[in-house]
Amino acid sequence: MQAIFTRRTVFALAVSLALAACSKSEAPAASASAAAPADKVMVAAANANFAPFESMTPEGKVQGFDADLIQAVAEKGGFQVRMVNTPWEGLFNGLNQGDSDLVISAVTITDARKQTMDFSEPYFEAKQLIAVRADSGVASLQDLKDLAVGVQTGTTGDEVVSKLQGKTSANIKRFDTTPLAMKELESGGVAAVVGDNGVVGHYLKNNSTTQLRLVADDTAVPEQYGIVVRKGNTELLNKVNAGLQAIRADGTYDKIYTQWFGDAPVAAAAASTAASAASN
């Protein structure tokens, strides 16, 4: 009897047993696995050099408005999420290749991006601001036409300056992160930086080693940040939108906003309107 069990038959037996086990216990789950298994932890990628939206803690964790927001959205939307830090230029490729499931990185919703990715409902309003050294004479975007200007590569700031100077202008200095562009402004390598208001403003307040000031241009178009999923991933997108709606309704959004920006959203909007009215 024992002799009959050659290695081969034992192997074959094991395989058929395993298959039988699989077909029994996993067959019903197979349809669900086309969608995401319920316990899968979604990976949300951000370029964590963009405080206060995303930056790294000394312990190597992603923190910021976006990090808190996506946790709260996930909780209400019924999924689990963890954040990873990714270079800006790899963010969307990584999403498409499945390295991540979501991108939350202060990403502006644009028509061009909508061709290749899906966006949630808008979750934050922003605009481009010009940062210059305090003694600069720059008063508008037009004044940057022939100046060396720093931008973060491939951002909407890059787009604005590319439109002004031409995409291939040698005066556009492109950096991997916005803080690197700001450092170049401080050291005199560029005459200005064009970037998202919240982030250049935060840098001025918290990191600046030189006297800088901000210039708002009247022609700046309002931008909206959205959470990004792979094109066609409506299952996750619906959860994200449901989560967003729920945290707006129950006050969680305002709480997170206040934590990172110091003022409730409505009050902040009113204050910035008052400030720009005062400066006009």
The 170-209 contact track toward ligand ARG, x by CB under 6 A, reads: --------------------------x-------------
Token pair recorded at residue 280: 């006009």
19-48: which residues touch ligand ARG (CB under 6 A)? 46-47
Among 43, 51, 52, 54, interactor with ligand ARG by CB under 6 A? 54
Residue placing its CB nearer to ligand ARG in the complex, 76 or 230: 230
Residue 68, interface with ligand ARG (CB under 6 A)?
A: no
Residue 70, interface with ligand ARG (CB under 6 A)?
A: no
Asked whether the beta carbons of 110 and 157 are under 8 A apart, the reply is: no
Vertex 243, ends 239 and 245: CA angle to 5°?
Answer: 120
Residue placing its CB nearer to ligand ARG in the complex, 76 or 144: 144
Q: How far is the CB of 46 from ligand ARG (least distance, A)?
A: 6
Whether omega before 52 lies within 30 degrees of 0, making that bond cis, reads yes
The 93-122 contact track toward ligand ARG, x by CB under 6 A, reads: ------------xxxx--------------
Nearest-CA neighbor of 147 among 105, 180, 189? Answer: 189
Angle formed by the axes of helices 234-249 and 252-261, nearest 10° = 80
Asked whether the beta carbons of 198 and 175 are under 8 A apart, the reply is: no
Nearest-CA neighbor of 127 among 219, 261, 220? Answer: 220
Give the amino acid at 237.
Answer: L
Among 55, 63, 100, 156, interactor with ligand ARG by CB under 6 A? 156
* CA 86 to chain CA centroid, nearest Å: 10
Residue placing its CB nearer to ligand ARG in the complex, 49 or 100: 49
Residues that bind ligand ARG (CB under 6 A): 46-47, 49-50, 54, 88, 105-108, 155-156, 196
